[in-house]
Structure formats: C-alpha cells, structure tokens
Amino acid sequence: MSSRGGSDAADLRRLVEECEAFTRCESCGTHVVNLDSHRCPSAGTRETNRETRRERAERDERDDDDRVGIFPRSNGNSYAYHELRDGEVCCGSGNYTKADRLEVVRRREAKARGRCPCGNCERLQQLRTDGGD
C-alpha cells in the first residue's frame, strides 16, 4: 500500500493479481472470483440500475399470474426473476448464486419487489421460440 495511508490503483491491482482467490479472464482481462459465473462484456451487455430494471419489468408482457423464482437478496445483489420449469430455474443461474433457497412468487409480486426478467431466461425463451421448441 502507499505511504499516504490509502491505496492507489497500482497497489490494488498488484494485490488482486497476486491473490490466489482471483482469476483473470483470458478473453477480456477482467479479474473474477468465480470464473464459472463470469461472462465477458459484449455489445449486448446491459447496464442495470433501478430505472432500467423497472423498464424491463414493464416491457415483460407475459402473464403476471405465472409463477417465477427469485433468490433472496441477503447474499448479494439479486435483481432478476427467473422462469421455472418443473419448479427449477430454467437458466441454471441457481448453480452460481450463494442463495440457499429459491422463493416462488407470482410475476407481479417479483415486479413489485423491483425485480426484472432474467436476461438468460429471456435468451433461452427466444432460442426456444426461434428453434420451434
């Protein structure tokens, strides 16, 4: 660390690079804790904040009475609701969350809690629609 009592970017970068708990993505150079859950940024990557999540939820025209899954927020930022198939999250994101349970609620309740559609669930639905599945 620097002698000023704080840290500067070079010191912090060195610590991250030397720490065995972090891995650096070979494709984009991002330092990540869990490489399995990392995705490189792309042109389609969305910046999310409360307003964009609200807009995405409002554009979701699927039945508000359908049941969706949400992971509790106690273990981090979980802003999405997930489509379910036989009571399980369709996109597999449950494999990468630290949450130990899935809460099943109606889509309208998930929206009221400030959640938006999971991007992976949306992509899977689009693939099923395009593929005729």
pTM greater than 0.75? no
DSSP 58-114: HH--S-TTSEEEE--GGGS---EEEEEETTEETT-GGGT---S--EEEEHHHHHHTT
Q: Which amino acid is at 60?
A: D
- Whether the pLDDT of residue 3 is over 50: the answer is no
Q: How far apart are CA 110 and CA 69, in angstroms?
A: 8
Q: What is the mean pLDDT of residues 88-113?
A: 83
User: How many Cβ atoms from other residues are within 10 Å of residue 96's Cβ?
Assistant: 11
> Pairing state of beta strands 80-85 and 67-70?
antiparallel
> Pairing state of beta strands 67-70 and 103-106?
antiparallel
Percentage of the chain lying above the pLDDT 70 cut: 59
Q: How far apart are CA 82 and CA 30, in angstroms?
A: 26
pLDDT tens for each residue of 23-60: 667 777 766 655 455 455 555 555 667 888 889 899 99
- Whether the pLDDT of residue 108 is over 50: the answer is yes
